[in-house]
Amino acid sequence: MQIIDYTEGMEIPKNCIVRGMPNAVYHSTEHISKSQLDLFDRSPAHLACAGPIEPTRAMEIGTAIHTAILEPERFKEEYILLTDAKDRRSALYRDASKVHGTERVLVSTECEKVEGMRITAHAYHEYTDNYLNKPHEIELSYFGICSETGVPIKCRFDLITECGHALDLKKTQDVRLDALGRAILNYRYHVQWAFYSHVYECVTGEPLKSFNFFFTEENAPHSCQIARLCEETKQLGTAETLENLEAYASNPNATDGTWRAPEVISLPVWYLNQNATEEIIYE
């Protein structure tokens, strides 16, 4: 499918791929995203009460990390690295941000973190080169209609090659496999895999060739781990995605979830099992 370059005020076709769409415009469309699906999964009330996304410093640094790793030349051209500015209270930072914008100006500790993550990620070249050295696009926006529910859906790939291999960059605290397993569950990355794969197929009519996660630790030594999901995890992700979409399609204006019925609560099962004589399994 042909990629459309973004123009201000453009109408979004039924199924399309858009290059260069500003974040604010992307988030303002009627199509539901994976992050909105996460809110709806928590409760329809959380999605109904969600306001416009206001950029935070963490989000700005996240964008800088993505740019430094996936678009290093653009990072060099667009970002101002104030290695002599101790923090954002300094006059040096305030003056630079007035000219270049806060999202493009980094102070010393931020420079060290972003540059450290970039160097370590690129040292992992035997894997990253499989993506960066092939024809690819960064931050393409996909808009389509869910083939199962008719819900307008969207996603934005960090990196996708011309032949349909996707790479998603994740900042994390620990790339050991057990920690990543918890992160996948906590942030529903298995749902992201399923949702992005579904959007891609609805838009292009073809299945996504592959979807790998590239995890990199936020703190030094910025260890990296590239990973794909096992088949059982993919199946769970697909089931949860379709369940969420079907629930949303049946009542997109639902606002329930503010009040919940009384429940019995316990410590996590894994913690209880540490001192149990028999394994505890909750149905």
Q: What is the sign, positive or negative, of the torsion defined by CA atoms of 227, 233, 239, 245? A: negative
**128 touches 214 (CB < 8 A):** yes
Contact criterion met (CB below 8 Å) for 88 and 98:
no
pLDDT at 282: 55
3-state secondary structure of 161: strand
Residue carrying the six token digits 């409760």: 43
How high is the mean pLDDT in each 10-residue block of the chain (283 residues)?
92 94 93 96 93 88 95 94 93 93 94 95 82 93 97 98 95 96 96 98 97 96 95 97 96 85 86 71 56
Cis bond before residue 152 (omega within 30° of 0): no
- The pLDDT score that the predictor gives to residue 88 is 93
Q: With H, G, I as helix, E, B as strand and everything else as coil, classify residue 25.
A: helix
Res 280: pLDDT: 54
pLDDT at 19: 97
CB atoms within 10 A of CB 229: 19
Domains of the chain: 3-56+64-69+122-250 (3.90.320.10)
Pair 164, 209: CB distance under 8 Å: yes
**What is d(CA 25, CA 132) in angstroms, rounded to the nearest whole number?**
27
In this predicted structure, what is the pLDDT of residue 281? 59
**169, 160 in Cβ contact below 8 A?**
no
Query: Whole-angstrom Cα distance, residue 166 to residue 180?
Result: 19
CB 101 within 8 A of CB 78: no
